[in-house]
Structure 1
């Protein structure tokens, strides 16, 4: 009887994130661009900690097609967020592994990238990656801020609400401008916020808030203790005055101690 051996089909599996490049070694355009990316990411971290799912990343490669891999078109968005996926570290975001593209993408504009971000990348996010919501912001020009949501296969502008926010329906949050200091830079920053207009604090801000609350509680306790001490001093003073008045009526020290509860030494003083 002849033995037959089935040929193993030559199937080439798509590369995984462990096999794909994840860093082009090119720094962001400026320290402010890097700080802005950090602020967007760090603002979502405490919010995501309350969920069982979700991932947020920035300035890392997002792979959406094998053609992109062959063309070595690796550059990824400055910020992206994805819900409905397991938590955990990623070297890069590989759509065919995760079975999902990002829900939200934000590009930080600069003179050298604005044209690509507003045209070529916008079309990639719209037509190839099908990212539901796309925003751009120029950290050095706060007026250059816009958002788009896919409607009938095309991006349509997101109108600002009454809080002057651009709402992300994917996350149930909003993006708004915030004037302040972050990482030592005074600027107008793009921040995540709830729909009441309250910005989402970063882990550092939450820690500072807890420290401030503890300081306020300690100060309140100190003030309460001081008030109690003052009340006790006032009550003792009034009692001593009563004792002096009783002594003036001719009562003995022993009689006054019984009436007031003060010690003889205190009365004699």
Structure 2
């Protein structure tokens, strides 16, 4: 008896069988994080709104995903914070060039605040739950707390929209009780808070800098929009004033014309307008 060919299921499309972005780690085993678009946009928003009023603009520097070298005795050891801010250093390296990295022993000023965005592959290290391995570089937490002694350390999760802030007290990080959901930093003249808004086409919760009084630091696009609105308001006021002047001119011309018409009618009646004035 001839056997019929055995039927098989059609092959699954590649998008159902190949790994997704959540399954593919970095090719560098020492950096197993999962970079994503949020890791670009959130640090960018912090970068654009980091304008400490207590410091001249050319004496503040911040960076996103820039190598931070912290140990002169191990010059190839570095961390790469998602965002960090420094005050008291030139905006440009030696006042003349953009930085390729931030080398603490050359800058002689350590970062004042670091923000890390939680990723599945680096969460335990960001939260200080991973111990340093023997003959390996120290973890982020240890570098920020013990070696660089960075005063403020902030952690934000895009998955839960929760964030934690730590302040260096007595050489150790202590959790900060947020003030009305914000982290005031008087040394900078700024507060850090969570903002619900649209940034680069995404409406969600974002970390964003504000004044100590609670006003969000405007983005360049927002400043442009405010300037446009102010210009439009001024134009409308000018146009309204022009229309009022034109209306007053027309009313004056109408009144003059009526006087002339009235004088003409009185003249047709044989009455001298001057006699009317004298009779009064």
- After TM superposition, the score normalised by the length of structure 1 is 0.75
Q: Distance in 2 between matches of 1:135 and 1:156?
A: 11
2:8 corresponds in structure 1 to: none
1:125 corresponds in structure 2 to: 144
1:148 aligns with 2:154: no
Q: Distance in 1 between matches of 2:56 and 2:241?
A: 35
- What SS class does the counterpart of residue 34 from structure 1 fall into? helix
Contact 2:53–2:189 under 8 Å retained in 1: no
- Describe the shift of the 1:90–1:210 C-alpha distance in structure 2 as closer, same or farther (beyond 3 A): same
- Describe the shift of the 1:123–1:251 C-alpha distance in structure 2 as closer, same or farther (beyond 3 A): farther
Tell me the C-alpha RMSD between the 2 structures: 2.8
Superposed CA deviations along residues 126-149 of structure 1, whole A, max 9, x for unmatched, are 11111011111123432x111111
User: How far apart are 1:202 and its partner, in Å?
Assistant: 2.0
2:257 corresponds in structure 1 to: 240
Q: Distance in 2 between matches of 1:209 and 1:91?
A: 34
- What SS class does the counterpart of residue 196 from structure 1 fall into? coil
| Off by >6 Å, runs of 4+ in structure 1 | 24-28
Report the number of matched residues. 227
Q: Distance in 2 between matches of 1:211 and 1:177?
A: 27
Superposed CA deviations along residues 152-173 of structure 1, whole A, max 9, x for unmatched, are 11111222224x3111233121
Contact 1:46–1:203 under 8 Å retained in 2: no
Pick the aligned partner of 1:83 from 69, 83, 87: 87
2:179 corresponds in structure 1 to: 161
1:213 corresponds in structure 2 to: 230
Deviates more, 1:57-66 or 1:115-124: 115-124
- What SS class does the counterpart of residue 261 from structure 2 fall into? helix
Q: Distance in 2 between matches of 1:158 and 1:121?
A: 19
Q: Distance in 1 between matches of 2:34 and 2:239?
A: 48
Pick the aligned partner of 1:195 from 194, 212, 229: 212
1:33 aligns with 2:39: yes
Contact 2:167–2:175 under 8 Å retained in 1: yes
Contact 2:49–2:209 under 8 Å retained in 1: yes
Deviates more, 1:53-62 or 1:227-236: 227-236
- Gaps (5+ residues) in structure 2? 1-29, 93-97, 129-138, 274-280
Contact 2:32–2:122 under 8 Å retained in 1: no
- What SS class does the counterpart of residue 184 from structure 2 fall into? strand
